């Protein structure tokens, strides 16, 4: 990262050395590997933000995702090189409240180059889109839990699972990129509009596909689906809370199993980036199957697909599990 400010003499010497050894990749310009003067350097905290930056930025941006493919991004730790990337990027795309390590590094390093996508539209409370009704006997437990979550005013960061919210964030991103790179502002706006059309199409598919279902409750491994369940009138029952590493208590597991039975859940959902063990335990106990419902916090290590295709797979999974017509 300090290469950028290396004296020209050093750069020239390096170029000469590279030429001698037959490596010519960097000899066309003065920039070091990784820094492309023709493109806006964007750092994204995790996959959905990378997806947005690539779609809205196109070939005019170079996007770095701080989260490794296949790794759960909530608890991402940054190495010094990544902190350096944050301090040098022309735009840092992050979601305050989702990745504490990124929040901290952005606060220290990014200044006004940071774009907090959590500020685009007010976030839902952590309990919104949750499962809040009065079954005999479980009322007390549910209230206790909601009170606990509500007491710290927690907000739910999983905004990208509502495609229309993601579209609006894409529009704002186009504005930010246009401010960084005014010559191409029109292209950013145009790409955001194209993406919006695709996301609105996806939204229509979800609305139609989940209109008529025999069940509307989904048992999920952590409560990542509040925006999706609110948008499409489903209810989520989370085994864990807002972050996957919250260990559920035995009481919580028993309560979830009870809920699953009561709502005749045929499927307990787990995630690609988190161990399915707990979901499997509950599924066995209530005689349900397990299936992946992907919160798209990151793509799996095998890759394959993008936000749009994984969302469509999620829709099919939901339609099967909830017996939608
Ligand atoms: Zn999450
Ligand atoms: Zn219930």
DSSP for 210-278 reads: TSSBS--EEEEEES--HHHHHHTT-EEEEEE-SSTTSPPPHHHHHHHHHHHHHTT-SEEEE-TTS--HH
Shortest-distance ligand to the CA of residue 264: 2
Which stretches of the chain drop beneath a pLDDT of 70?
A: 1-35, 128-130, 132-152, 303
CA angle 134, 136, 141 (to 5 degrees): 70
Nearest to 94 by CA among 47, 35, 58: 47
- Give the model's pLDDT for residue 69: 85
H or E stretch covering 195: helix 185-209
Nearest to 129 by CA among 117, 146, 111: 146
Shortest-distance ligand to the CA of residue 133: 2
78-116 as b/e: b if 16+ CB within 10 A:
beeebbebbbbbebbbbbbbbbebbbebbeebbeebbbb
Between the CA of 140 and the centroid of ligand 2 the distance, in Å, is 13
Contacts of 125 (CB under 8 A, 6+ apart): 150, 153, 154, 155, 156
Between the CA of 306 and the centroid of ligand 1 the distance, in Å, is 18
Between the CA of 262 and the centroid of ligand 2 the distance, in Å, is 7
Shortest-distance ligand to the CA of residue 246: 1
- Give the model's pLDDT for residue 130: 63
Shortest-distance ligand to the CA of residue 157: 1
CA distance 237 to 228: 13
- Give the model's pLDDT for residue 152: 61
- Give the model's pLDDT for residue 129: 56
- Give the model's pLDDT for residue 17: 41
Shortest-distance ligand to the CA of residue 255: 2
H or E stretch covering 280: helix 277-286
Ion ligand 1: residue ranges with CB closer than 5 A = 224
Between the CA of 158 and the centroid of ligand 1 the distance, in Å, is 6
- Give the model's pLDDT for residue 122: 96
Could you report the per-residue pLDDT of 42-70, keeping only the tens digit for each? 999 999 999 999 999 999 999 999 998 88
Nearest to 211 by CA among 233, 240, 184, 185: 233
Nearest to 154 by CA among 64, 241, 84, 215: 241
Do the beta carbons of residue 202 and residue 251 sit within 8 Å? no
Shortest-distance ligand to the CA of residue 258: 2
């Amino acid at each position: 990262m300090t290469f950028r400010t290396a004296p020209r003499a050093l750069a020239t010497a390096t170029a000469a050395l590279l030429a001698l050894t037959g490596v010519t990749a960097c000899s066309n310009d003065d920039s070091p590997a990784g820094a492309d003067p023709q493109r806006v350097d964007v750092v994204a905290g995790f996959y959905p933000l990378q997806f947005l930056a690539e779609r809205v930025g196109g070939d005019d941006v170079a996007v770095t995702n701080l989260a490794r493919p296949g790794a759960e991004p909530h608890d991402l730790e940054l190495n010094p090189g990544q902190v350096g990337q944050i301090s040098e990027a022309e735009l840092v795309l992050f979601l305050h409240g989702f990745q504490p390590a990124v929040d901290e590094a952005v606060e220290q390093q990014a200044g006004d180059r940071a774009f907090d996508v959590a500020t685009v539209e007010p976030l839902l409370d952590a309990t919104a889109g949750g499962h809040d009704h009065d079954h005999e006997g479980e009322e007390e437990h549910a209230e206790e839990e909601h009170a606990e979550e509500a007491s710290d005013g927690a907000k739910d960061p999983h905004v990208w699972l509502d495609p229309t919210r993601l579209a609006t964030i894409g529009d704002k991103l186009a504005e930010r990129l246009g401010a960084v790179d005014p010559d191409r502002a029109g292209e950013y706006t145009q790409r955001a509009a194209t993406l919006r059309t695709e996301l609105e199409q996806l939204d229509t598919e979800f609305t139609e596909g989940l209109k008529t279902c025999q069940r509307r409750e989904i048992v999920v491994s952590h409560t990542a689906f509040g925006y999706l369940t609110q948008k499409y009138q489903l209810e989520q029952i989370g085994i864990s809370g807002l972050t996957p590493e919250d260990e559920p208590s035995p009481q919580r597991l028993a309560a979830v199993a009870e809920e699953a039975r009561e709502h005749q859940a045929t499927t307990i959902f787990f995630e690609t980036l988190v161990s399915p063990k707990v979901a499997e335990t509950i599924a066995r106990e209530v005689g349900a199957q397990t299936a992946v419902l992907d919160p798209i916090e990151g793509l799996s290590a095998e890759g394959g697909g993008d936000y749009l295709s994984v969302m469509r797979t999620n829709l099919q999974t939901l339609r099967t599990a909830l017996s939608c017509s």
